Each structure stands twice: as C-alpha cells, then as structure tokens.
Chains A and B, each alone.
Chain A
Amino acid sequence: MNSKVSNQIAIATLYVIASTIVVILAALLGYIIISGLPALSWHFLTSPAKAFTAGGGIGIQLFNSFYLLILTMIISFPIALGAGIYLNEYAKQNWLTSLVRTAIEILSSLPSVVVGLFGFLVFVVQFGFGFSILSGAFALTFFNLPLLTRSIEEALAAVPDEQREGGLALGLSKWETVLHIIVPAALPTILTGVILSAGRIFGEAAALIFTAGQSAPALNFTDWNPFNISSPLNPMRPAETLAVHIWKINSEGIMPDAKAISSGASAVLVISVLGFNLLARFVGHRLFKRLTAG
C-alpha cells in the first residue's frame, strides 16, 4: 500500500471518528432537551416535589441549587482570591510553594464523593451542622477552591507587570496595587472563571448527598427570616438540590412520573449550564470592552 492511499484511508477514518463524536454528542444534547421540554412548565419549575404521586415539581430543589451556589461562592471566592493573589504576586519559588501547588492539584483531582465524605465527617458530624445548606456549601467550597484559585491566578498573571510597577512607583503597597488595579483589570477573566465554576457547582451532586442532604422540607416563601426553620434562607436546613434530586428519584424514587421529572430536571440542569457558559462568554466580552473602550 503506498503512502498516498494510506494517507487517504487515515484521513477518511479521522472524518468518521469526528463525525461519530458529533453524532453522539448531538444525540445526547438533543435527547436531553427533547425529552425534557414536554415536562417543563411554570408549575413544574415552581411547585414542590411529591414523594408518592405524580404531578410534583422541582421548585424547592431549584431554589436550593441557587441558594447553595450563592452561598458557596460567598465562602469560596474570597479564599480563592486571596490564594490566587498570594500565588501570583507573592509566592517565591521554593519548597513551600511547590508543596502548596501540589496540594491544590491533589484537591482538584480528588473524587467529589471523597470531598463530600470529608464534609460529612467534619461539618455534619464533628461541627454538628447536620445535613444542611451550610455543610453543603463548605463541601462545595473545597470542591470549588482549586479550580477557582487557578483561574484567578491565571487571570492575574495575564495583567502586564507594567501595571504593577505603575502602582508601586506611586508609593502604593503591592497589596493596594493588586487589589485596586490588578484585580479590576483582570475582572473580566476572573468573572468568566467564576461563572464557569458556578456551572460546575450547580450540577454537582456526589459531594452533596451526605452534606446538604437528600431531603427538601417544605419552604415558606413568605418568610425571609434566616433563623426560622421553614425560611428559604435558613442555612441550617437540609436541602436537596436539583442534581441530587435527579439522582435520588432514579435510585429510589417511587413516584409514577419519576422519568418525566428526571427528564425535565435534566433539561433544566443542562440549560442552566448552557446559560452559565453563554453568560461567561458574554460577561467576559462585555466587561473587557467596557474597560478598554472610551
């Protein structure tokens, strides 16, 4: 077989492989959306789930997912920002830094179920938080920190050193320069990273089943006092999220319309992740423009 023929065979094979992938992926997306769309309705998105009968919604789970997401971000963003700043602006190349980097790498590759188990051990049991939004938010914080730290570090590194020198030469400390010049300049990239990690948090379930719990007690959406037990804002209540809900009803759900609910919930999850992706692109683009143009 001469090299021209084998060249053509190889390239044809690559075309086949790439098209197969596109077909698999398109079918996957299509299936999620098409099978999920019929289930979607305002009622479905807002009403509470039913355990034994058909017609339940995902309202509480959806709220829980967003609340948990926001709480996780509130906890993890400042930590990731501090860590990212230290790594990019202060860390010297020594054994401590390489140890820290190794640790972050390990954390990012840990199975999320292990992170969840650790959260269970420390927050649910040891600290006595029980199955609660707070326990879940801490577990998701560990899950979120490595990637967020890395993306913040990269965003800071992309800001030219001239900007740092500009601040230092005015007699400002490095910290002030970083906080008030470098971070704002890196904001579009940082926000993009935050939104992308939000998508990851939104869909995470394994880290939550033993921390935020697998039940969604009824909420009183007129009571916004976080200290009341039925208040949606109460961080100490157990909170099944959308992703956990999908897992739960498929492993042990007994409602007759479990499949329709899962389809609908999956579609909501995927559409949300898609939304986060688009938002990340949009925000990055928009802010970048606003910062550079007159």
Chain B
Amino acid sequence: MLINPSSPRLDDGWLERNIVDPSLKSQQPIVLETQQLHVYYGDNEAIHEGDLKFPEHQISALIGPSGSGKSTYLRSLNRMNDGIARVSGEILYRGVDVNRPEIDVYEMRRRIGMVFQRPNPFSKSIYDNITFALKRRGVTDKKELDEVVETSLKQAAIWDEVKDKLTKSALALSGGQQQRLCIARAIAVKPDILLLDEPASALDPVSTSKLEETLLKLKEDYTIIIVTHNMQQAARISDYTAFFNMGRALEYDETSQIFTSPKVQLTNDYVAGDFG
C-alpha cells in the first residue's frame, strides 16, 4: 500500500474504506476504471488513492468536501490535467490504458467528453458551438451538421428553447441554457462517456432540476460520471456514489447504500451533514 513514502499520511496505518466493484452487482460492463491512480501537483500528492470502476450507462457521482480531490480525480480521467499535474497509474477505458504518452489524447477526449463547472460556450453562434468540433474534424456536409445540431440539442433538452435562434450568439443564453448547450456541444462529437464537473453549481434551482432531468435521459446513451457538491443531487440522479476525502476515495457503492447505510464512519458523517 505504501506508494509514496514521503507522504506521511499514508503511514497512519489502518484506514476505514469500503470500495465495491459494480461489476459484481450489476449486469453492466465496466467502461472506465483506474488502477493505482496518483496525482501530484509539484511535490504535493493530491490524489493518494482513488481506484474506482464505472459501469456502462449508469450515473456515478463523486461527492466529498471541497479539496477532497474529487474534481482532480475526474479531470484526470480524460487527461485534462496533462501539463498541470502529474498523473501516475492506469486509466483503463474499455480495457485500454489511456494514461500512456503514446495514446492519442485528442481521440481519447473525443470519446470521454467533459462539461465544466461554469458554462463555457464559445463566443460563436449556437449552431457554430455545436458544429465547431465536427467541422474541425472534417465534417462539411450541411445536412449532416444540421442533423447533429438538432439531435444534440434535443438530447440536451434545449432544442425547443433555441431552435429559432440558432444563429444568435450563445453568450446571449441564460446560465442554465448555456450549460445545457455545453452538454449538447459535448455529445455532438458522439462521445462514450461524459464527465461533468459540478455542472449545476452556477445554476439556479429551476435550471438545476432541468439539468438533472436531462442527465437522467442521457444515461440511456452515455456513461456519466458527475462531481457534485450537492448531496441531494447525487441521491436524486446517480446509481453509484463515491465519497472522497483528503485525496482518497473512502467509500464507493450503490447510491442507495451510501445514503442509507454507509459502511465508513466518515461517509456517514458527511452525508448526515456533520462536516464538509
């Protein structure tokens, strides 16, 4: 277990943990898993241990107090931390370790998309936001592009609101609409997995619940991993929940288990609202 002797906290001895393997519980295959994942910012180890397995077509939520490493972990999954942090260990995407330099990180990110905390539409029209990446990848057929725009916006449940103003600037949309547009933008490139980093933290309650509905529909087509601050949100939408604390995944189980009978004391304290 001792990976980095310079980190004293690893020496504390026994740590209460409970990480389940979803493949033993559900029929869904595992699409993404990490093995021996460690993340370092300079000399600081941000993630000590966080080995989880994510089942296909399920929503897995990562919860935990701020600074617990849940976002760092998520951003490592599609290597958004490249150049920012050093990530060691294996990230197995459908059995292929993508945490290797010879992997084409752009193709990998096309398959493992990400939506961020703050909506970040490009300062282009709504239509161009959706088609931008496709055009860059060489899709020029207008009909095909139109189709992708419609299906992506429909999947992201924003089509009805924007279908008449596709040529208008995306920045003119409300925050909640912008975030759903970002989801539409992410699914336009036909990813396999969607990573969402606190996507609702900048939204009002109405927009948030709309977003949650959207996610529940999206899981039929995509595997979703979502970091959230909001425990109710995790409870409402996720199938699996991982609890992170101080750079470790301490507990990972079916969401109902985590919220009703967690096995780890710290998880219990956290979901009960005792700290965090």
Instruction: Show the binding face of A for B, using Cβ within 8 Å.
Output: 160, 162-163, 165-173, 176, 180-181, 184-185, 291-294
Closest B residue, CB atoms, query A185: B123
A93 CB to nearest chain B CB (Å):
12
Do A291 and B80 form a contact, CB below 8 Å, given A169-B114, A170-B110, A171-B110?
Answer: no
Contact, CB under 8 Å: B172 / A162? no
Instruction: Show the binding face of B for A, using Cβ within 8 Å.
Output: 78, 80, 106-111, 113-116, 118, 120-124, 132-133, 136-137, 165, 168-169, 171-172, 182, 185-186, 189
Count of A-B contacts with CB under 8 A?
A: 72
Closest A residue, CB atoms, query B75: A165
A–B complex contacts, Cβ < 8 Å, 10 sampled? A167-B122, A169-B115, A170-B110, A171-B111, A171-B113, A171-B189, A172-B106, A176-B136, A185-B123, A292-B123
B227 CB to nearest chain A CB (Å):
14
Which of chain A's residues have a CB closer than 8 A to the CB of B122? 163, 166-167, 181, 185
Contact, CB under 8 Å: A172 / B136? yes
Instruction: Summarize A's interface: helix, strand, loop or mixed.
Output: helix
Which of chain B's residues have a CB closer than 8 A to the CB of A170? 109-110, 113, 132-133, 185-186, 189
Contact, CB under 8 Å: B136 / A169? no
Contact, CB under 8 Å: A163 / B106? no
Closest A residue, CB atoms, query B121: A166
Contact, CB under 8 Å: A162 / B120? yes
Contact, CB under 8 Å: A166 / B106? no
Which of chain A's residues have a CB closer than 8 A to the CB of B121? 166
Q: Give the CA-CA distance A165 to B75 in the complex, in Å.
A: 11
Q: Give the CA-CA distance A162 to B114 in the complex, in Å.
A: 12
Which of chain A's residues have a CB closer than 8 A to the CB of B186? 169-170
Contact, CB under 8 Å: A294 / B165? yes
| Selected contact of A169 from candidates B107, B116, B118, B137, CB within 8 Å | B116
Closest A residue, CB atoms, query B170: A294
B189 CB to nearest chain A CB (Å):
6
Do A163 and B132 form a contact, CB below 8 Å, given A291-B169, A294-B165?
Answer: no
